[in-house]
A and B are shown apart, each in its own frame.
Chain A
Amino acid sequence: MNHSASPGTGQPRRLRPEHRRFALVTLLPGLSLLILLSLIASVGAINLAFQDRMLRFPDAAYVGLENFERLFRDRRFANALQVSAIWEVVTVVCTMLLAVLLAILLVEGVRSPRVRNAICILLIIPVLLPRVSAGLIWRFLYSPTMGAANYPLTMLGLPPIEFLSDPQIALYAVALVDIWQWGLFFGVVLAKLIETLPKEPQEAARLDHAGTLGVYWWVALPMLRGPIIMMTFVKAIESLRSFDLIYTMTAGGPGISTETLDLYAFQQGIGISGRISYASSLSVLLMVMTVIIFSILWKRAARWAA
């Protein structure tokens, strides 16, 4: 929204001095604190990345690019990069698919607005759960001996699936929890957005004998292109915060099969090894990657969504 150019609101072009003063007094403290803290975070991380600091010792020396060179030879880093990429793609794509299907189902399948609203409240419960709680809940479900997820299998006399200790499955089993939290929530949001759409274009498509799914695919979803792109973008950012869930559920295991970049950086910098400089070089790479990629994507997504 561009207020400065809107005519008829009686808004003067120039700010009055008292407004300028108000803006200065209210913006300065919050913004300067934010700028200070973000500078500490970014400059501090970059500074650490060029040293050889260990968590246990306060003194350190500058070592140039050594940490980064070591990083590119580090097989565990390559593994973490791969795990993070799989995690990102799987969680973003599945969340959006679940959200779209659920939204259509909610709008088409539940006619009463009150019932629909009640269902929506129930469906946003998972996303509000602390990730630690969500992780513990699903660890319990996935347990091979007493987990409810294995009960249907053992009832049929089949061997239980070791969801979290099978390196082939573990990452996807954890990803399911993330999709459970976000897919349901986005489904609710998308259903709310579909409700706000004008009905005429959809009715017109229906008169042209389009099926229900066809109406959504050709008419309703394209009308929501903007919000859907923004939601995908938000999910892509949220998916980078995989640490809490993975740490609670597998701590990167079995082996390093669920070790994402942030988890590896944490284990290196804070866990037993305490190589905070090495971990910082990793997190600097992560930060540069995300800030650059997402800044470009943000500008592009905003243009696309318009």
Chain B
Amino acid sequence: MGRVTLRLGGGLLTWLIVLLALLPVFWTILSSFKSLRDIVSPIPVLVFQPTLENYRTVLTTPAVRDGLVNSIIVVGSALLIGVVLGVPAAYALARFVRRLKGDIQFFVLSLRFMPPVAVALPFIALWLDLGLYDTLIAVIVTYCIVTISTIIWLGVPAFEQVPRAIEEAAALEGYGPFAVFWKVALPVAAPSLVGAVLFTFVITWNELLIALALTSRNVTLPVVAAGFTTLGMEVPWGVINASSVVLALPPLILVGLIMRFIDRYFSRPAR
């Protein structure tokens, strides 16, 4: 009997939690279409004349457009380097490294322990000394710590799940290790690898501290959005809401794909 009540009440409670959990996001999206008069009203306005003014302001602000372009360049390049260097390394680690495998995997993971501030400070000094402070190249190279290590970390289990037999069959056909990797292992592991790349994309796209530390004018989008609140005397909430939505859009578009990756990763019997 307790089970039945829990199930009924549980169903209701779950939906209530979903509603509460998404209310902040929903409210922000709604408010991004409101004029300032509807936003500052002490009583929440649900029916209003929607306006695209906030988005127009955000997207025509040069800082936002530059930030968007910079973010795309920085994240795209760091991700590309991460994939090119990380994916083959993950394969080699999964297949051809034995004695050092545990140590290398631990090293890669331990980079994730490093506090971002401890990474940012020495790199400021380095890029200043090299005359590269406030350039996109500096941010891209620094982000490579994150992209390469995350892709190796998540790529190793992806390749371990590839059945060895098909690789060996290909090797018997006369394929060398590069051909086996490129023509057999990579296509089979691809769905899991896409998840790893998406995950790495989300981390770097969302990153604030290092970008904030390493640049002053060539900033990425999170830095621009974070700076909106300190601008001017009157807090432009409509514009802030619109810019949070614009910034959050790329990771949110990927939510379905990422869920599939989570399913693949966790919905199998442990190990």
Q: Which A residues fall within an 8 A CB radius of B? A: 1, 3-4, 9-11, 15, 18-23, 26-27, 29-31, 33-35, 37-38, 40-45, 47-48, 53, 55, 58, 102, 105-106, 108-111, 117, 119-126, 128-133, 135-141, 143, 145-146, 148, 151, 154, 180, 184, 188-189, 192-193, 195-196, 211-212, 226-227, 237, 240-241, 243-244, 247-248, 261-262, 265-266, 269-270, 276, 279-280, 283-284, 286-287, 290-291, 294-295, 298
The reply to whether B255 and A111 contact each other, CB–CB distance below 8 Å, is no
- B117-134 interface code vs A (CB 8 A; 1 in, 0 out): 111111111101100000
Prevailing SS type, chain A contact patch: helix
B148 CB, nearest partner CB in chain A, Å: 5
Cβ contact of B24, chosen from A1, A44, A138, A193, cutoff 8 A: A138
Contacts of A247 in B (CB 8 A): 208-209, 212, 226
**Given A48-B121, A146-B42; A109-B114 close (CB under 8 Å):** no
Contacts of A265 in B (CB 8 A): 117-118, 121
The reply to whether B121 and A130 contact each other, CB–CB distance below 8 Å, is no
Q: Which B residues fall within an 8 A CB radius of A? A: 2-3, 6-7, 9-14, 17-18, 21-25, 27-28, 31, 39-44, 85-86, 88-89, 91-93, 95-98, 104, 106-126, 128-129, 141-142, 144-145, 148-149, 152, 160, 164, 168, 176-178, 181, 202, 205-209, 212-213, 222, 225-226, 228-229, 237, 240-241, 243-245, 247-248, 251-252, 254-256, 258-259, 262-263, 266-271
Contacts of A33 in B (CB 8 A): 85, 144, 148
Q: Which residue of B lies closest to A185 (CB)?
A: B262
Please measure, in the bound complex, the distance between the C-alpha atom of A164 and the C-alpha atom of B92, giving whole angstroms.
Answer: 50
Contacts of A18 in B (CB 8 A): 176-177
Contacts of B222 in A (CB 8 A): 130-132, 244
A262 CB, nearest partner CB in chain B, Å: 4
Cβ contact of A137, chosen from B6, B24, B44, cutoff 8 A: B24
Prevailing SS type, chain B contact patch: helix
Contacts of B213 in A (CB 8 A): 266, 270
Please measure, in the bound complex, the distance between the C-alpha atom of A44 and the C-alpha atom of B269, giving whole angstroms.
Answer: 44
Contacts of A154 in B (CB 8 A): 42
The reply to whether A140 and B241 contact each other, CB–CB distance below 8 Å, is yes
Please measure, in the bound complex, the distance between the C-alpha atom of A212 and the C-alpha atom of B222, giving whole angstroms.
Answer: 44
The reply to whether A41 and B23 contact each other, CB–CB distance below 8 Å, is no
Cβ contact of B17, chosen from A11, A41, A43, A105, cutoff 8 A: A105
The reply to whether A109 and B255 contact each other, CB–CB distance below 8 Å, is no
B57 CB, nearest partner CB in chain A, Å: 15
B230 CB, nearest partner CB in chain A, Å: 8
Q: Which of A9, A10, A128, A226 is the most central at the interface, judged by chain B CB atoms within 10 Å of its CB?
A: A128
Contacts of A262 in B (CB 8 A): 115-117, 209
Cβ contact of A41, chosen from B123, B267, B271, cutoff 8 A: B123
Contacts of B18 in A (CB 8 A): 119, 122-123
The reply to whether A128 and B126 contact each other, CB–CB distance below 8 Å, is no
Cβ contact of B93, chosen from A27, A122, A192, A290, cutoff 8 A: A27
A19 CB, nearest partner CB in chain B, Å: 5
Contacts of B263 in A (CB 8 A): 192
The reply to whether A110 and B11 contact each other, CB–CB distance below 8 Å, is yes
A212 CB, nearest partner CB in chain B, Å: 5
The reply to whether A130 and B262 contact each other, CB–CB distance below 8 Å, is no
The reply to whether A129 and B3 contact each other, CB–CB distance below 8 Å, is no
The reply to whether B118 and A41 contact each other, CB–CB distance below 8 Å, is yes
A161 CB, nearest partner CB in chain B, Å: 15
Contacts of A248 in B (CB 8 A): 208, 226, 229
B164 CB, nearest partner CB in chain A, Å: 6
The reply to whether A31 and B104 contact each other, CB–CB distance below 8 Å, is yes
The reply to whether A120 and B92 contact each other, CB–CB distance below 8 Å, is no
Contacts of B123 in A (CB 8 A): 40-41, 44
The reply to whether A26 and B28 contact each other, CB–CB distance below 8 Å, is no
* Sample of 16 more A-B contacts, CB < 8 Å, known A38-B145, A265-B121, A290-B113: A3-B164, A22-B92, A26-B91, A31-B89, A37-B142, A109-B7, A110-B10, A111-B7, A123-B18, A128-B251, A129-B248, A131-B222, A137-B244, A196-B267, A241-B209, A287-B118
Please measure, in the bound complex, the distance between the C-alpha atom of A140 and the C-alpha atom of B39, giving whole angstroms.
Answer: 10
**Given A26-B88, A33-B144, A105-B14; A48-B122 close (CB under 8 Å):** yes
Cβ contact of B14, chosen from A4, A106, A189, A284, cutoff 8 A: A106
The reply to whether B226 and A146 contact each other, CB–CB distance below 8 Å, is no
Contacts of A119 in B (CB 8 A): 14, 18
